Amino acid sequence: MSTSKTHRIAVIGGDGIGPEVIAEALKAVRASGVSIETADFDLGGARYLRDGEVLSDATLDQLRGFDAILLGAVGTPAVPPGVIERGLLLKMRFELDLYVNQRPFAGTAPGHSTAHDFVVIRENTEGPYVGEGGVLRRGTPNEVATQGSVNTRMGVERCVRYAFELASRRERKHVTLVHKTNVLTFAGDLWQRTFDLVAAEYPAVSTAYNHVDAACIYFVQDPHRYDVIVTDNLFGDILTDLGGAVSGGIGLASSANLNPARTGPSMFEPVHGSAPDIVGTGKANPTAAVLSAALMLDFLGESSGADRLRAACAEPTSGSTSDIGNAIAARVAGK
């Protein structure tokens, strides 16, 4: 069953393989019978090189009017690092207040025989990502660079609360805080106290704490211990690449940048990048984009469509980008 609503989706195919995988994701969504209306936004490194626009405030205001944003990948080698990342991706996360980055990982890790199923909830608007700091005497022997981590009680609490809400709806009802409280004693203390206070409101949810370095070992050696993980922006960035690597590869890793308060659209994107080396070869796996579209359908209240997308991705498929996309869409339509 799908809702009768037509969802308005802003589509940012972006650079490299982004447009290729997003085309397949849209095929799968259309095959599900969920009604969508799309508008393409030409943004990313190629657009920047053409006319200098990264993400203007006027474009951002247009995006605010949509129900969701589906993004492929942005970035080209010709653009210096940081320009597109900070100016487009992070600007959307901050300005649209996409404070939760939800990244699900289901799969069988190398050397294991049973599947794990956990979700990382990464804080998405604070930490070292805010760009606090600066540089003095750049390029001289006396150069000084600082890069702070901003953690607010409000920002930490809303993210931790989201993790507990999610865990309370899952079978295992377990949340692990991942941080580095033994070294980052100021931020770690705020995270730990906030986590403990919120945990007290969820007596049915059990909890654990891991230092981030230990969590890296457990992701590989004992991923079954995890259900929901909540962590800060940078730890979450690093851990979720590892999560992808132990869950079938980055070609399957999906993500949802959520504004749970729904004061604007949320943004859905595969974890992988624009892979300029394989653009146009048909080698890009569109599964991560399809699974990101499934997260979008979940958030739009189209959970049965989302489940059908996920079921269609569960069967392995080989072939080119469009072979895989067509096979997934056929399964979605047939189910």
Query: Is 327 within 8 Å of 317 (Cβ atoms)?
Result: yes
Q: How far is the CB of 98 from ligand IPM (least distance, A)?
A: 11
DSSP 144: E
Beta partners for residue 174, in sequence order:
206
Closer by beta carbon to Mn ion, 237 or else 269: 237
Cα 10 from Cα 274, distance rounded (Å): 19
Positions in 78-97 near ligand IPM (CB under 6 A): 85, 89
Q: Which two tokens stand for residue 62?
A: 């247009």
For ligand IPM, which residue of 15, 20, 227, 237 counts as binding (CB under 6 A)? 237
Report the b/e string of 264-279 with b at 16+ CB within 10 A.
bbbbbbbbbbbbbeeb
Which long-range contacts (C-beta less than 8 Å, at least 24 apart) are formed by 51-58? 54/83, 54/84, 54/87, 54/88, 54/91, 55/87, 55/88, 55/91, 55/92
Residues contacting ligand IPM: total by CB under 6 A: 4
For the chain, how big is the Rg over CA atoms in Å?
20
Closer by beta carbon to ligand IPM, 85 or else 165: 85
Query: Is 36 within 8 Å of 6 (Cβ atoms)?
Result: yes
Residue 85 touches which member of ligand IPM, Mn ion, none, C-beta under 5-8 Å by kind: ligand IPM
323 lies in the binding site for ligand IPM (CB under 6 A):
no
Positions in 254-273 near ligand IPM (CB under 6 A): 271
Which residues are tagged catalytic?
Answer: 129, 180, 213, 237, 241
Q: How far is the CB of 183 from Mn ion (least distance, A)?
A: 22
Q: How far is the CB of 192 from Mn ion (least distance, A)?
A: 24
Closer by beta carbon to ligand IPM, 103 or else 310: 103
Residue least distant from Mn ion (Cβ)? 237
Cα 289 from Cα 147, distance rounded (Å): 32
Positions in 175-194 near ligand IPM (CB under 6 A): none
Closer by beta carbon to ligand IPM, 166 or else 253: 253
Closer by beta carbon to ligand IPM, 89 or else 332: 89
Q: Terminal CA-to-CA distance of the chain, rounded, Å? A: 11
Residue 20 touches which member of ligand IPM, Mn ion, none, C-beta under 5-8 Å by kind: none
Of 120, 102, 103, the C-alpha closest to 226 is 120
Q: How far is the CB of 240 from Mn ion (least distance, A)?
A: 6
H helix runs in the chain, sequence order: 18-31, 45-51, 57-64, 83-84, 91-95, 153-169, 185-200, 212-221, 233-245, 287-299, 303-314, 321-334
Residue 89 touches which member of Mn ion, ligand IPM, none, C-beta under 5-8 Å by kind: ligand IPM
Closer by beta carbon to ligand IPM, 41 or else 129: 129
- Per CB under 5 A, residues contacting Mn ion are 237
The residue ranges that bind ligand IPM (CB under 6 A) are 85, 89, 237, 271
